[in-house]
Structure 1
Amino acid sequence: MNNELAEKITKKLRGTGVNSTNRLSTLLALTAFEEPEVFWQVFHENWSDCDNAWGLRDDVLNALEWFGLDGVCMTDEQQAFLSGVATDRYSRITVYRGCSSARVHGLSWTTNPKVAQEFALGHRGIRVPDPVVLKAEIRKSNVITAIPDREEDEIILDPLHLRCLRETNLQPAKYMRTMRPQWRHPAVK
């Protein structure tokens, strides 16, 4: 990050009393009256470390709309990622989401079906009741931003712009966990 204020806010988001479940609400509060460049730098730097986004999705969408949905604050890496999955602004991108069947209309999607399968089982100790893997299409022009780090190929979007939304025949990645060799302590028989 090259913005001093964005760095200070990120430091607060990593400080005492802030964790993955309250980081997003804190981020929204600390950036509410800042310039768009500050908001986007803080958002991109911290989004991947925020849990509990479901209950704040309307607040997040309002903030994203307020600070601009046109992707002007995307980094070169984010722009390159989007260019790699869609050639022009009207191209459709196939996206996937692994989640609880009650949370189909979320903001976070991925271009990688295996990532969606893994998220359907939960992550960072968060269990997913009634897991599903979804597939949909969205125009590149309707993508809010991309977060290609952490090998999750994440797309942030407004679910109202999704087309052809359907449950896939991909099963949540349960088989991945059962096929892993189970490590046992040598003393345990």
Structure 2
Amino acid sequence: MNIEEITLGQAVPFLEAKREHHLSRLLNTYHRFDVDEADGASIKDEFQSYLWSFSSTDAPYEFLNVCSLVDYDPWFVWPYFHHFWSDFDAIPHREFEKILCTIWGDWSPTFIEDADDRAFYGALPDEVVAYRGQPRGARVGLSWTLDKNIAAGFARGHRGIWYDDPVIITARIKKKNIAGAYVNRGESELVLFNSRCATRRQIEQTPSFKERHGLLDA
């Protein structure tokens, strides 16, 4: 069936069939005992095709689902965690935190796939000052940044959702507690194994989107 021939009524089952196809091929290759470099590339391609069939807000949940199907094998989870993390939005940080803490002992910087990200991580000192922007009172997540301006932007909101009570949290983070470091979205992002690894926190108020643009009601 050509894509041009698919009607609206056929679209959903067609998409589900494609997803099932990619997931089945991924798992079948993973469970082989003689997986080589070519098989690894095949798994990556199938996983990417599978996840990219979901929205950026649904994809992290599907990532977690696939990881559960391979019993959270760290040699599977860590490389693909680094590969896909920057594609995710509205991430369920608490669920990721549970998994990252469980496989923490198997972590290695060699799992960081992108050379620029790996260099960014390698250049970090033993302890950094990092920032996180979010609405006041929200649960503190795993994602931080070295750039305070980036944190201020996330504090005000993200992807069209604006917060009325934005804050910037400043904290100290030890390099040994950083699970991932990414520069590919220009955010100098750090991802922690556990949100409690961000210590000596200080919270400051920052102007909301409406305040910055004079949109508050008189």
TM norm structure 1: 0.78
Give the secondary-structure state (helix, strand or coil) at the position aligned to 1:7: helix
Give the alignment of 1:160-171 within 5 angstroms: 160-168=196-204, 171=206
CA deviations on 1:9-52 (whole Å, 9 max, x unpaired) are 1211111xx21221111110012216434323322232223222
Q: Measure, in 1, the Cα distance between the counterparts of 2:122 and 2:153.
A: 25
Q: Which residue of 1 aligns with 2:88?
A: 50
Read off the aligned partner of 1:127 and give its amino acid letter: W
Equivalent residue, structure 2, for 1:185: none
> Match of 1:60?
96
* Greater share of residues in helix: 2
Q: 1:130 to 1:168 in 2, by over 3 A?
A: closer
TM-score when normalising by structure 2: 0.68
Q: How many equivalent residue pairs?
A: 170
Q: Could you give the per-residue CA deviations for residues 160-186 of structure 1, whole angstroms, max 9, x where no partner exists?
A: 1121101136x247499639xxxxxxx
Secondary structure of 1:105's aligned partner: coil
Is the CA contact 1:97–1:108 (under 8 Å) kept in the aligned structure 2? yes
In the alignment, structure 1 residue 79 sits paired with structure 2 residue 118: yes
Ranges in structure 1 where 5+ consecutive residues have no aligned partner: 180-189
Does the 8 Å contact 2:172/2:198 carry over to 1? yes
8 Å CA contact 2:94, 2:141 repeated in 1: no
Q: Distance in 1 between matches of 2:41 and 2:161?
A: 33
| Aligned-pair Cα RMSD in Å | 2.6
Q: Retained in 2: the 8 A contact 1:97–1:135?
A: yes
1:149 aligns with 2:184: yes
**Structure 2: which amino acid aligns with 1:3?**
A
Which runs of 5 or more residues in structure 2 are unaligned? 1-39
Q: Of residues 97, 101, 124 in structure 1, which corresponds to 2:136? A: 101
**Bigger radius of gyration among the two:** 2
1:147 Cα deviation from its structure 2 partner: 1.8
- Residue 176 and residue 10 in structure 1: after superposition, are their counterparts in 2 closer, same or farther (change >3 A)? farther
Does the C-alpha gap of structure 1 residues 71 and 139 become closer, same or farther in structure 2, counting only changes over 3 Å? same
Q: Which has the higher contact order (CA 8 A, sep 6+)?
A: 1
What is the CA–CA distance in structure 2 between the aligned matches of 1:85 and 1:176, rounded to whole Å? 35
- State percent identity of aligned pairs: 27
Equivalent runs, 1:31-46 vs 2, <5 Å: 31-32=67-68, 33=70, 35-46=73-84
Give secondary structure in 2 for the equivalent of 1:20.
coil
1:153 CA displacement: 0.6
Name the structure 2 match of 1:186: none
TM-aligned CA distance change 1:28 to 1:172, over 3 Å: farther
